[in-house]
Amino acid sequence: MQRSRTAIMTLTLAAAVSLALGTSGAWAEGYSKEGHAGGGHSAMGGHGMGGMMHSSTGHLIRHLLKHEKDIGLTAEQVAKLKDVQLNLDKARIKAEADIQIAERELKALTDDEKSDLGAIEAKLKQSEDMQVGLRMTSIKTKREVLGLLTPEQRAKEKAEHDKVMQEHKSAGKGHGNPHGGATPHKGGTPAAPGSMSAQ
């Protein structure tokens, strides 16, 4: 009975923290390479707008590299994309760690009824500022990636992406997939419909 009660309390706390982090959009991708092994979720299960943004940018880069021949990328473009991917990954991992620390510090402050409200507000702003910074990094990186492509390559990328999405939708129809018909990639990450165009 005691074990059962402890398990319920633990799950309730985990759900509350997950909801708070998911709403804040703190860190949706895990610490795996661009979210593949992490399944697009953080260690706490958060899945907010900020995470979706860098997931979208990371997905765009992976898509371009996977279909480099179909899109007609040059060796120089591929090298640059790999460099951009590494820099985005490093920035994301560092920012997500900083946000996680700030959120835990915030929890410690809010758990203490004697904590100064000004300190709580300052910690909230610190966490939000870091999340905004992470989202801006993702937006800037996506623009940088698209800027590397010629108009013809952009058109090929879109056509290739649309084809892949159509295949996922068709494959998902017979399996009752809860992700809106999208089937997981080989790495285990569910495909996000329209993720190429999401800012």
Per the domain annotation, does 164 fall within a domain? no
DSSP assigned state of 189: P
pLDDT above 90 covers a percentage of the chain that reads 51
14-48 pLDDT, tens per residue?
444 443 444 333 333 333 333 333 333 333 333 34
User: Does the pTM exceed 0.75?
Assistant: no
To the nearest whole number, what is the mean pLDDT of the chain?
Answer: 73
Instruction: Tell me if 57 sits within 8 A of 138, measured CB to CB.
Output: yes
Measured between its terminal Cα atoms, the distance across the chain in Å is 48
Per the domain annotation, does 105 fall within a domain? yes
The values of phi and psi at residue 32, to 5°, are -75, 170
Give residue 105's domain range: 53-154
Per the domain annotation, does 34 fall within a domain? no
165-192 pLDDT, tens per residue?
888 888 876 555 444 444 444 444 444 4
Q: What is the DSSP string of 21-61?
A: HHHHT---S-SSGGGTTTTT--TT----HHHHHHHHHHHHH
pLDDT at 107 over 70: yes
pLDDT at 138 over 60: yes
189: left (phi over 0), alpha (psi -120 to 50) or beta: beta
Task: State how many domains the chain has.
Answer: 1
Per the domain annotation, does 57 fall within a domain? yes
Per the domain annotation, does 147 fall within a domain? yes
Per the domain annotation, does 92 fall within a domain? yes
> Nearest Cα to 21, choosing from 94, 128, 108, 115?
128
Per the domain annotation, does 74 fall within a domain? yes
Per the domain annotation, does 9 fall within a domain? no
